[in-house]
Amino acid sequence: MSGNYDFSKIVSLCKRRGFIFPGSEIYGGLANTYDFGPLGVEMLNNILRSWWDTFVRQRNDMFGLDSSILMSPKVWEASGHTKNFTDVLVDCRECQYRTRADHLIEDFFEKKNEKIMVEGKALEELDKIIISEKILCPKCGKSNFTPVRKFNLLFETNVGIVTENQSKVYLRGEIAQGMFVNFKNVMDTMRPKLPFGIAQSGKAFRNEITLGNFIFRTLEFNLSEFEYFFNPEKENIDELFEYWKNEMQNYLLTLGLKKEKMRWRVHDETERAHYSSRTEDLEYEFPFGFKEVLGLAYRTDFDLKNHSEKSGTDLKYFDPETNERITPHVIEPTFGINRIFLALLSTGYEEEQEERTILKLSSNISPYQIAVFPLVKNKPEIVSKAFEVFHVLKKTYRVSFDMRGNIGKRYLSQDEIGTPYCITIDYETLENSSVTLRNRDDKTQIRINLEDIKNFFTF
C-alpha cells in the first residue's frame, strides 16, 4: 500500500523511531511545538545541506548570509510587518475555541467537496459567509462566533535587564529582512554584479492561530530562501519568474518528491502579501490535501526602497555598464523546510502486505545511508569484523551499527527509518572478505567483496 494510509501512522512512527517528539512533552507539552529527535535532526540537516549546495555552493551568483533572529523593531516597521503581517481570527462564544476565520470557512466548504479561497477578503465579507452558511464550531458544534478581527503574527519580546528600561523587539516572522538590511554590506564586501542573490536558512516564528497537521504549521519553523536582485530594465520578470519556478520544482524532484503530486497556485490580488505584486505557491499533495510547500514572490523594489527611506542609508546599486544608480527589484523563492521534511515522510511511507513498513527516502536525505550488522552477536570475531567495517565506512558515509535482535528484525527496523542498504558480516566474511548487501526497496541480496563496496555506492 502506497499513499493510502492513516496519517496518524506517520506521526506515530516519528515518535517511536526518533524523528520528531512533541515539544516539552514531560510537562504536558506546548501546543504547536515539536523537537527533532536523533534521526529527525540528521534528516533535517541533510535537507538543509542539499538546499545550500544546490542554490549557493553550485552557483556563482549567490552569496550566503546568517543574520540575527533579533533585529531593531524599526526593521519591521519599515517592512510593513507591524501593520500588515496579520491573520484573521474568530472566537467561539460558547467554548472559547479560537481559529483562523479563513481556515474555518475553507474547511467547511472542503467538507462539502467545494474549493474556495477566502484569504485576504474583507472582514465583513468573512463575517457574512460564517453567518449565512451557519458554520459550526469544530470543537463544540455550535454557531456563535465573535466578529472576525485581525491578529498580528509577530512574536514580541523585550531586551534589557532593567524592567522599566526594556525595549520591545520581535522574533522574526520571516528571514528575508536580514538579507535586505545587509544588502549594502554584501555589495561593499563581495562586489557582486546584477543579477545576484543573497541566501540564508534559519528559524522563523509566527504566533499561529490555527494548529494541527503535525509539523505542517508550527510556532517555530525552518525556512530557506534567497532574495534575487535584478535590474527590471534588463531582465524580463516573466522569464525570470518561470526560470525560478522550474529551479524550485526540480530541486524537490532531486529530493524524491513526485511531480504528479505538485501543482502551482496563483495568489489573487486580495491574497498576496503587502510587499508582493505577484505570488505563486507550489502546493504538494499530503494525506490531508494539497498544501503550500514553496512560495515564489515578486517583491519589486518595495523592501530596499522602504529600508533606504526609513534608515537614511543609500541602498541603490551602481551599474558600472551604464554608470547609473538604481534600486534593484527582487524575486524571492521561499522553501518551507519543515514542510518539505513532512512531504518526504508522507511520500516515502509505504506499507506492504507482509506488514513491512518502509520509508523510501533517497540516499542523500535518509538519516543513514548504510547499516552494518554482525550476523550473530555471540561470536567475537564476527562482531569485531563488523565494527571494523562500520568504522571504515563511517569515514565516507552516514552509517548505523545494530546488533539487537535477529537479523530479520534488524532489516525491518532499518526499512522503517529509510536506510537504503544493509551490510551483514557473517562467517563467510571471515573466510573471503565478502559480505551480504541488501537493498531496502526490493529486498534483494547479493554477495560483494569488501574492497568493492565503495565502488558499488553512487551516493
Parse the chain into domains and list their residue ranges. Answer: 51-73+157-349, 86-152, 368-456
pLDDT, residue 165, reads: 62
- Is residue 399 within 8 A of residue 390, CB to CB? The reply is yes
CATH number of 368-456: 3.40.50.800
Q: What is the mean pLDDT of the chain?
A: 93
pLDDT, residue 164, reads: 65
Homologous superfamily in CATH for domain 51-73+157-349: Bira Bifunctional Protein; Domain 2 (3.30.930.10)
Continuous H helices in 92-226: 101-111, 123-132, 176-181, 183-190
pLDDT, residue 162, reads: 64
pLDDT, residue 354, reads: 72
pLDDT, residue 1, reads: 39
pLDDT, residue 321, reads: 84
pLDDT, residue 455, reads: 87
Which residues, in sequence order, are bridge partners of residue 436? Answer: 424, 447
Tell me the Cα Rg of the chain.
Answer: 26
pLDDT, residue 270, reads: 81
Q: Which amino acid is at 151?
A: F
State how far the Cα of 313 lies from the Cα of 307, in Å rounded to an integer: 8
pLDDT, residue 116, reads: 85
State how far the Cα of 440 lies from the Cα of 172, in Å rounded to an integer: 41
> Was domain 86-152 assigned CATH 3.30.420.10?
no
Query: Alpha carbon of 364 to those of 252, 336, 337, 398: distances in Å?
Result: 12, 18, 15, 10
Residues 6+ apart with CB under 8 A from 124: none
pLDDT, residue 2, reads: 43
Q: Which long-range contacts (CB under 8 A, 24 or more apart) does 360-364 make?
A: 360/256, 360/418, 360/440, 360/441, 361/43, 361/256, 361/418, 361/420, 362/254, 362/255, 362/256, 363/420, 363/457, 363/459, 364/46, 364/50, 364/254, 364/255, 364/459
pTM of whole model > 0.85?
Answer: yes
- Given a cut of 70, the residues of the chain with pLDDT beneath it are 1-5, 162-166, 210-212
State how far the Cα of 270 lies from the Cα of 252, in Å rounded to an integer: 28
> Closest by alpha carbon to 217, among 335, 118, 329, 336?
336
